[in-house]
Amino acid sequence: MKRHTHSSVLTASAVTLGLLLTGCGGAEDQPEEAEADTRTVVDATGTEVEVPADPQKVVTLHYAATQPMYDLGLMPVGQGDVNEEIVPEDVWPELSNVPVVTDLGEPQLEEIALLEPDLILAPNTTEDDVLEHLRNTAPVYIFTLRGGDRANWQHRTVEVADAINKSDGVDELQAAFEARQEEIATTYADQIADTKVAVVGSFEENNMYVWGEANMTGTILLPLGFTWSEQANTIVATEDEAEVTVSFEKIGTAISAFPGGKNTIAGYSDANYLLDMVEEALAAQG
């Protein structure tokens, strides 16, 4: 995966992070056959949605659903805004050919309709009037992007997997990820012990983003054995989500700083990339 345009850094005070039955007849069997073509699932808003049992033309309106899709082995036919720099190098050649159907996050309804999707994955930030238009085109499954469950990036993959009927693949992804976390925790146990980390990111000039431990990167780093910075947790303590923009003056001075991948974890590809960066940082510290 390439370096990310919106980069983050890990900072630390010690080290840094036919028919089925013959002879049975006809029209009475038709409804059962039709039912087999769809499934009813419950989306992030608690709404029941009838989706294709085997969706072939899925449109995602945010990269946070696009990545879980390709992690699970399925490419969308239309996608939300995407930057080459945040996509794994082996995925980009195929993903770059997928039409972008949002403009600065705003769904382009006519472009989406022209793709004739059989399912649309929309973030829970999508406006109600836009959802109404989208539902005239295809079933819409709303997944979690913002809110109290924002940090649970694994659950977003579970949501997307349920929508596209790929739930069997989630356990494999999670098992491999946990095994890698355990390997890093064991290999670098002495360096990680009693080490405090903080995660900050830069999105605009003269300001930094600070993340507390109850965030996406926290769910990846804390199981390795790191301890989160009390100062960072204090800065975000009054926020609804464990993140806030602050001026440079509040960042403080760190002994070491290392690239940390993406702060916003879209899926397992991002999470594993963060582990890549942690391993590089630990190896550099010796």
DSSP output for 109-152 = HHHHHHT--SEEEEETTS-HHHHHHHHTTS-EEEE--SSTTTT-
By C-alpha distance, which of 268, 133, 154, 253 is closest to 198?
253
Lowest mean pLDDT, pick from 140-154, 180-194, 257-271:
257-271
pLDDT of residue 147: 81
Same-domain pairing of 141 and 177: no
Residue 32 lies in a domain: no
| Count of domains for the chain | 2
Residue 152 lies in a domain: yes
Residue 135 lies in a domain: yes
User: Domain boundary at 124, 148, 164, which?
Assistant: 164
By C-alpha distance, which of 135, 163, 134 is closest to 44?
163
User: Domain boundary at 121, 142, 164, which?
Assistant: 164
* pLDDT tens figures, 133-143: 999 999 999 99
Same-domain pairing of 176 and 281: yes
Residue 23 banded pLDDT, cuts 50, 70, 90 = very low
Same-domain pairing of 52 and 113: yes
Looking at the chain, the number of H-run helices and the number of E-run strands are 11, 13
By C-alpha distance, which of 285, 221, 235, 231 is closest to 8?
221
Per DSSP, what are the bridge partners of residue 77? Answer: none
CA atoms of 9 and 21, how far apart (whole Å): 61
- Residues sharing a CB contact under 8 Å with residue 205, sequence separation 6 or more, in sequence order: none
What percent of the chain has pLDDT above 90?
A: 59
Range of the domain at 70: 40-164
CA atoms of 104 and 102, how far apart (whole Å): 6
CATH assignment of the domain containing 110: 3.40.50.1980
User: Domain boundary at 164, 191, 218, which?
Assistant: 164
